[in-house]
């Protein structure tokens, strides 16, 4: 197990620029989708906060990408922000399901 993790860590260290740039693009697309689907069309209802949670997760990931740190080449640091991005996708999907169910 330790051998596999070190092998993954070395592979990530070689290609970390690609992984971070792809995460940045996905994060930007999630923000654009969230804003265009719920804010520009006026479908954000009062009392429903999953859309804001999704944008909050995207903001945290955006800050993690922008803040220069020595941890940017570490695999665990990338996993943390990837998990937060997936949490943001969960909230976005829940917002779409709520939007469909309420027939807005």
Question: Is the predicted pLDDT of residue 15 greater than 80, yes or no?
Answer: no
pLDDT-derived band at 61, boundaries 50, 70, 90: very high
- Which of 1-7's residues contact partners 24+ apart within 8 Å by CB, and which partners? 5/75
Per the model's pLDDT, the better-predicted residue between 47 and 81 turns out to be 81
Which band of pLDDT confidence, cut at 50, 70 and 90, is reported for residue 49?
A: confident
pLDDT score at 104: 55
Buried b (16+ CB within 10 A) or exposed e, 42-67: eebeeeeebbebbbebbebbbebeee
Q: Which two tokens stand for residue 29?
A: 């697309």
Q: What angle do CA 19, 22, 24 make, to 5 degrees?
A: 110
Helices (H), the chain: 2-34, 50-66, 75-101
Is 70's pLDDT higher than 70?
Answer: yes
Task: Report pLDDT for 91.
Answer: 93
């Amino acid at each position: 197990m330790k051998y596999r993790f070190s092998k993954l860590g070395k592979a990530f260290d070689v290609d970390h620029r690609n992984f971070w740039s792809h995460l940045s693009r996905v994060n930007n697309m999630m923000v654009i989708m969230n804003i265009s689907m719920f804010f520009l069309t006026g479908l954000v209802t009062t009392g429903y906060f999953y859309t804001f949670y999704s944008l909050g997760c995207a903001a945290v990931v955006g800050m993690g990408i922008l803040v220069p740190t020595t941890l940017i080449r570490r695999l665990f640091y990338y996993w943390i922000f990837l998990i937060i991005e997936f949490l943001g996708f969960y909230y976005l999907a829940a917002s779409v399901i709520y939007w469909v169910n309420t027939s807005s």
